[in-house]
Amino acid sequence: MASSSRARLVVPLLLFAVVAIAALLYLLPANAQTPPTPTTPAATANATPAAAPAQPATLPTPSLTPGPSLSAPPASTTAKPNYSVLIHPLEPNLQTLGSLQQRPDPDQGAQMLITFNPAGAGIESLTLARHHTTIATDSPRETIQQTEKHQLFDTAGNLVSQRALVPLAALALEIDGTVVPLAEDLTAQSQTLWKQLSPGQFQATILNGLTPALLITRHYTLPAGGYHIFLEQTVENLTSQPLTVRWFQMGPTDLPKGKATYGGDLRRARLGVIPGPATDPTGQAVLGRDFIPHADLITKPNWQNGPVWPDLLLFPPATPEGATQSLAWVGAQNRYFAVTLHALPGTSPARADIPGNVPDIRLKIAAAVDRVVLPRGGADLAQIQANAVAALRLTSQPATIAPGKSANFSTGIFAGPVSRSLLQNDPQAKAIGLTDQEIYTFGGPCAFCTFQPVASFLRWFLATLHDYITRDWALAIILLVVCVRTLLHPITKWSQMSLNRFGKQMQKLAPMQKALQEKYKDDPKKLREETASLMKEQNVNYAGALGCIPMFLQMPIWIALYAMIFFNFDLRHQPAFYGLFQHASGGSWSFLADLAEPDRFIWSPTWTGFTVPLMGHIDSINILPFILGVVFFIQQKYLTPPSATPLSPEMQSQQKIIKVMMVVLFPLMMYNAPSALALYFITNSALGILESKHIRKKFEEKEKAFEEELKRNPHLAKEKTGIMARMQQRLLSATQHAENIRNQQQRARGGK
């Protein structure tokens, strides 16, 4: 009975205690409650990490620690907000944007297909609809952007970590000095930071505790036709306080290297720089800077501290005007294609710092650009650099967002062929200087020789010949070489005739010079005097040897022509001679079917090939390099001037070896060259042979006529005509005058 009474007393007390505790918890402020751990991931260094599985994340974010020029503001003495990103369930298949369906009218419909990656709402792959990897219509289409991954395994074969570079991913948002990552991949947890609202449209919410603080929207759209992508990016302030933010975004990753074994690694990064007011007060000029080769992007590796490092700052430049310079575009290229982020002049107000309502062509999200690298192994440094993948990382200027307002970090993206004709006809590309994306140079020590204005003119002239005369690129190249050689013929003629005349004169003098050397071998001073007197008597001067200078002055034109043909997108997948060989064989013969590839005289798609030093990977039998070797040998024979002095047997043997080596090595190095270049070299060398033969014939006729006239009128030996002859005579007079002064000084010293 007593126990029953105690039970009746205890039960009401327990019920009262439970109700009291519940009421107390209900009345506590919201910020005093402990949020459930799985609700949000860790976003800052001082935030409590969310529970995660033991295995590494599939696509972890590259290091977001800013470099020296990207340092965050000093930490505030007040407590930082607890920022995190709202997590959404991961959708198994994100919706794609665009299509690979080719339409009859290229100005209608999408030119590409984009698939997305949940990490930072970036791009998983970007494939062009109208461009195939080979001339076969059933070959894969060109994929110029894709997520690059690298897995690391231990010695037992277990996956240790996996990293990736996701093109165009939103990496992070800095809020009043606190960096909040936006590209964490939580696919192992079937969760994501970005929610797809529609094809190409994504949304992320940044929380402060449990309260929404900022709303981020990324929306990819494809205008009809063309190769542009519009990426609208907004950050909306949902708080009641102004916030200062800075946007971190991944740019394009390396484009495909391709299988080309000629020309080296042609991947490169490009910057379109708007000079400061001292250079361009209008703010409308865009200078396409010299490219940054892929090998230069893969520098200063630190393999011990992790496979991703962003320690190479590409912009702003370290120049006195660097603080006032800005970027209009930044991108990555290979031989034929580019992915470039560029400004959108029509979507932003006119520049306030320049009078005259000047359009703003600055790329606001690229106040600074550095690179991030993902190495993927290799036996040595050269192989490591070849295998590594580089991406550009963009950092915006800080922007202050008022409560309820938004900041705009939108950008345009050009993803397509680097074609001068295409870019010139694109008003948006012309407005921001994207036409400078097309450059004709391999880089290296001869880069300065490829004068871009000369190469651009040759490109325009080649297109004119194709469009209005030949309607065939191979014939246009041949005709272009004919025109260039015809234009340079007067210089070539004078040069070769001067060299031939000087060589012939020196051959006549050789016995007399040898006699003088024997006579005055112990008196160098007297030997010089007698040699000078002999050359004056025979009307010979060393100025004739200057005939080689005009030949060297022509080299920039030929180098520019060579580079222009190699990088000309219009030659890609174009057959030679109206596809004659393909029509004759019913389309089965691959010979000269693609001017951008080797001629493939005998080829089969099933051949795997093999690698040969100097020649590269051989998967076809090419005939044009051997034809080029024969033509080059004949050209050497006609272009080599006669020796000025008799050669010893040893020197003659050395010259023969050098000639043979050049004739053999040149075709070997050109074996995998594009057939357009082989046609260019064959045409140029063949015309050079005919030109040299004609010049030599004219020279012999002229010399013979002069000798006959000289017999009738000996005074002609001292008469010279023509500007070059007068220059030679002046040089001889100056040389003789200097020799006389030197002799007088020596006599004066001897008299003392």
472 and 427 in a common domain: no
Whether the per-residue pLDDT at 185 is higher than 50: the answer is: yes
186 and 327 in a common domain: yes
Residue among 425, 458, 396 nearest 173 (CA): 396
Q: Domain count of the chain?
A: 2
- What Å distances lie between residue 232 and 217, 344, 622, CA to CA? 8, 10, 49
Q: Indicate the pLDDT class of residue 156, thresholds 50, 70 and 90.
A: confident
Higher per-residue confidence, 290 vs 274: 274
Domain with residue 293: its CATH number is 2.70.98
416 and 553 in a common domain: no
323 and 349 in a common domain: yes
**CA 103 to CA 519: how far, in whole Å?**
87
Domain membership flag for residue 645: yes
Q: Given the structure tokens 């402060």, which residue do they identify?
A: 208
DSSP assignment of 43-72 equals -STTSPPPP--SSPPSSPPPP----GGGPP
Of 32-46, 331-345, 555-569, 698-712, the range with the lowest mean pLDDT is 32-46
Whether the per-residue pLDDT at 312 is higher than 80: the answer is: no
Neighbours of 488 (CB within 10 A): 18
475 and 424 in a common domain: no
User: Using one digit for the tens of pLDDT, what is the confidence trace for 473-525?
Assistant: 999 999 999 999 999 888 888 888 877 777 777 777 777 777 877 788 777 88
Whether the per-residue pLDDT at 9 is higher than 80: the answer is: no
Two tokens, residue 49: 């990490």
User: Using one digit for the tens of pLDDT, what is the confidence trace for 383-401?
Assistant: 777 788 999 999 999 999 9
Whether 200 and 168 have beta carbons less than 8 Å apart is answered as no
Range ranked top by mean pLDDT from 112-116, 181-185, 534-538: 112-116
Q: Indicate the pLDDT class of residue 714, thresholds 50, 70 and 90.
A: low
Final residue before a domain boundary, out of 412, 439, 466: 439
Higher per-residue confidence, 682 vs 612: 682
Domain membership flag for residue 525: yes
Higher per-residue confidence, 225 vs 488: 488
Domain membership flag for residue 37: no
DSSP assignment of 362-422 equals --TT-SEEEEEEE----SSHHHHHHH-EEEEEEEPPPEEE-TT-EEE--EEEEEEE--HHH
Owning domain of residue 613: 452-732
Final residue before a domain boundary, out of 393, 410, 439: 439
Domain membership flag for residue 738: no
Two tokens, residue 53: 């599985």
Whether the per-residue pLDDT at 547 is higher than 80: the answer is: no
526 and 421 in a common domain: no
391 and 456 in a common domain: no
Two tokens, residue 695: 């010049």
521 and 490 in a common domain: yes
411 and 460 in a common domain: no
Q: In the prediction, which pLDDT does 738 show? A: 64
Q: In the prediction, which pLDDT does 521 show? A: 78
Which letter does DSSP use for residue 87 in this model?
-
Of 98-112, 297-311, 460-474, 488-502, the range with the lowest mean pLDDT is 297-311
Of 135-144, 281-290, 736-745, the range with the lowest mean pLDDT is 736-745
Domain membership flag for residue 24: no
Two tokens, residue 710: 């000289």
Two tokens, residue 251: 């740019």
Domain membership flag for residue 277: yes
485 and 430 in a common domain: no
Quick one: which H or E segment has residue 21?
A: helix 2-27
Q: In the prediction, which pLDDT does 332 show? A: 96
Q: Which residues of 408-421 are buried (b: 16+ CB within 10 A; e: fewer)?
A: ebbbbbbbbbbbbe
Domain membership flag for residue 737: no
Is pTM beyond 0.85? Reply is no
376 and 405 in a common domain: yes
Whether 452 and 439 have beta carbons less than 8 Å apart is answered as yes
Whether the per-residue pLDDT at 729 is higher than 90: the answer is: no
Range ranked top by mean pLDDT from 52-61, 164-173, 518-527: 164-173
396 and 497 in a common domain: no
Q: Indicate the pLDDT class of residue 315, thresholds 50, 70 and 90.
A: confident
Domain membership flag for residue 402: yes
Final residue before a domain boundary, out of 414, 439, 464: 439
Once rounded to an integer, what is the mean pLDDT over residues 638-661?
67
Q: Indicate the pLDDT class of residue 20, thresholds 50, 70 and 90.
A: very low
